Amino acid sequence: MVGGCVRDRLLGTVPADYDIATSARPPQLLQLFPDAQEVGVIFGVVLLRRGEAEVQLATFRREGVYEDGRRPSELAFVDEPAQDAARRDFTINALFENPATGELLDFFGGQQDLRAGVIRAVGNPARRFAEDHLRMLRAVRFAARLGFSVEEQTATAIRVNASQIHRISQERVRDELTRILTEGGARRGLELLDGLGLLAESLPEAKAMQGVQQPPDYHPEGDVWIHTLLMLEALHRPSITLALGVLFHDIGKPETQTVTDRIRFHGHVEAGERIARRVMDRLRYSREQSEQVQALVANHMKFMHLHEMRDSTRKRFLRLPRFHEHLELHRVDCLSSHRKLGNYEYARELLEALPAEDLRPQPLLRGADLIALGYRPGPQFREILTALEDQQLEGRLATREDALAWLANRYPLSR
């Protein structure tokens, strides 16, 4: 066994997956396991499935020069695990364990670094990061998730090479940032990204929040950056859309801040939606993810108006897709500033008290009904049906007959 599964076992946690390294060449692996899937035979890797379990089987290899910051220009299969260990990223991921005997092979001090809580590159850090620039983000991810520090030479190499992250595809950057934000230690991850020079390169919009002061009566905790870090720290294993919603909820404040009688941020929600959409597009998140993050940004200020909303407006708000994410964002927003949870509790009480059919009642009339009554299809249909649902959500209409009478009075057919 090699890599993360050995590391996690030594840390006392259950590995998420298992990798096996071996001197057996790919043809031998396929002979031993005819049902294995050839996922990267050129690299000596096959995938073996047993029920719901998956195991990667890889031949020991030595790699040549990396010319594109991602892939080796050449590789050779070898017989010794020490040669295989030398190509790996960090010492804590270069550990081997014989599953039959429990013997550990540690060629670069990975066990000592585990005990010390240190992320250290295997061999020369600059060379490791030149081989694959994404390893700089991986260093942050492991340090954040495990609560480790980054060894000084490794950290220095990241700072020197931080701008090289632009040579990596946005999809690969996205995937590492996603893991940093969702695997645990997101605040620590953002702080490490900043301290190592990677935040300004990969998320300059977040870097811009630093030093942007807020009204102390609403935000005694500090500037927009500190407030956002506190919110990320308060999350527990969030979805990526919730984590990004938290990260971006005040992303519009830097460009909208004004200081007159007090600090104000007019239009920061709209600016935040625009910036969030731009970043999500740049990082190639899905359209569905982007729309949810934009919705979280767009609606995060509406909780303060919950008591004053009309019933129809309030019910439409409470039935937003994945409203639990809106609710959780608001909760950590309050806890990371003024700590008043009145609107949060009120929203929870409403959700518990209102049956689903009250939030989303069956329409009393549909478009086909309007056509049958003699109304011409057109833009006014949406206006009519929305106004009709408003009346229904307000509790003023309960039957089809009520709806027909209201329609005839409010939108009489022209003869």
Residue 67 has a pLDDT of 63
- Which two tokens mark 333? 């927003």
Alpha-carbon gap, residue 80 to 66, rounded angstroms: 22
Contact yes or no for 37/2 (Cβ under 8 A):
no
Contact yes or no for 320/303 (Cβ under 8 A):
no
Residue 71 has a pLDDT of 67
Specify the CATH number for 4-23+60-200; select among 1.10.8.80, 3.90.209.20, 1.10.110.30, 1.10.1040.50: 1.10.110.30
**Residues of the chain with confidence (pLDDT) below 70:** 41, 64-73, 415
Residue 218 has a pLDDT of 87
Residue 134 has a pLDDT of 96
Domain 203-359 coded CATH 3.40.50: no
Residue 69 has a pLDDT of 57
Q: Where are the domains of the chain?
A: 4-23+60-200, 203-359, 367-410
**Rounded percentage of the chain residues whose pLDDT exceeds 70:** 97
Among 119, 122, 116, CA closest to 138:
119
Tell me which residue has tokens 């519009």: 252
pTM, 2 dp: 0.92
